[in-house]
């Protein structure tokens, strides 16, 4: 395949690394990691996953974290393009799934604009992994007829200045849907306040899963009103990233023996 500059280019794959446990990689993801010449990987990725790569594979950290962005997205795009134009097999390795808050669409759009086709390998997204960890479904005919995946943080220009997202809080509060917030820990108290202010039941359970599927995984359970009415020490301050939050009545299905985790 030739790029827009006429030279031969390599292969580019956007690969979902899943929530952290290497055993949750797809077989295709594992095969591509074993064949890659270059892997561009995110922050918080379990380093055990990189051990699938061949010895001479180049590992490039391009991760971004709230308040500590190591590389802007346009530089990541340019780096993928550079290695593809060198004829290399490039794996852009992303936590979770590339198309669920992974900005995979932006990278594909950029590469397509330069005449480079990409393949996408889905990964287990954190919402599914957290649901399995809790042994609680994200959807339930009576307690949660649908599920919404929501960003708890908004980049500059799409939300408020401090990164708080502009969701339809009134709709979210009155729905029976299970609400799954990615990147929501930083604003969780305010998220709960917005829902409570819009008449969401204060007794609605909230589950926070930190480092989902990893050996040091932790589960924190609260009621919506507990987090919304925080006036002193923030109970989420000590929770480690990455963390995902599920708000909804489906959490009431948590097995009795686990409810005081």
Catalytic site includes residue 64: yes
Contact (Cβ atoms closer than 8 angstroms) between residue 50 and residue 38: no
Residue tagged active-site, from 21, 42, 200, 211? 42
Strands 178-182 vs 243-247: parallel, antiparallel or unpaired: antiparallel
Cβ–Cβ contacts within 10 Å for residue 214, how many?
Answer: 16
3-class DSSP state of 41: strand
Nearest to 183 by CA among 67, 93, 39: 67
Contact status, residue 219 vs residue 255, Cβ threshold 8 Å? no
243-247 and 205-210 as β-strands: parallel, antiparallel, unpaired?
antiparallel
3-class DSSP state of 220: strand
Q: Which two tokens stand for residue 238?
A: 């000590």
Q: Which of 2, 30, 37, 64 is catalytic?
A: 64
Which helix (H) or strand (E) segment holds residue 34: the answer is: helix 27-35
User: Phi and psi of 220, rounded to 5°?
Assistant: -125, 130
Q: Reading across the β-sheet that carries 218-223, which strands appear in turn?
A: 147-151, 178-182, 243-247, 205-210, 218-223
Q: Is there a catalytic annotation at residue 4?
A: no
Strand partners, 120: 14
Token look-up 């391009």 returns: 62
The residues annotated as belonging to the active site are: 42, 64
């Amino acid at each position: 395949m030739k790029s827009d500059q006429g030279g031969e280019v390599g292969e580019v794959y956007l690969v979902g690394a899943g929530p952290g446990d290497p055993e949750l990689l797809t077989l295709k993801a594992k095969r591509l990691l074993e064949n890659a010449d270059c892997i561009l990987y995110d922050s918080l990725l379990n380093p055990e996953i990189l051990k699938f790569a061949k010895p001479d594979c180049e590992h490039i950290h391009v991760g971004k974290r709230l308040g500590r962005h190591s590389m802007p997205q346009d530089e990541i795009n340019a780096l993928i393009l550079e290695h593809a134009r060198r004829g290399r097999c490039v794996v852009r390795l992303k936590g979770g799934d590339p198309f669920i808050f992974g900005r995979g669409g932006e990278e594909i759009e950029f590469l397509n604009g330069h005449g480079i086709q990409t393949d996408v390998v889905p990964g287990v997204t954190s919402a599914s992994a957290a649901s399995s960890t809790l042994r609680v479904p994200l959807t339930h005919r009576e307690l949660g007829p649908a599920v919404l995946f929501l960003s708890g943080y908004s980049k500059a220009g799409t939300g408020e200045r401090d990164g708080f997202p502009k969701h339809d809080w009134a709709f979210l509060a009155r729905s029976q849907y299970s609400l799954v917030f990615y990147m929501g820990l930083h604003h969780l108290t305010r998220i709960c306040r917005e829902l409570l202010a819009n008449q969401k039941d204060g007794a609605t359970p909230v589950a926070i899963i930190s480092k989902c599927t990893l050996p040091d995984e932790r589960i924190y359970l609260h009621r919506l009103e507990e987090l919304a009415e925080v006036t002193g020490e923030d109970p989420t301050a000590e929770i480690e990233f990455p963390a995902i939050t599920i708000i909804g009545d489906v959490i009431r299905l948590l097995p009795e023996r686990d409810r005081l985790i």
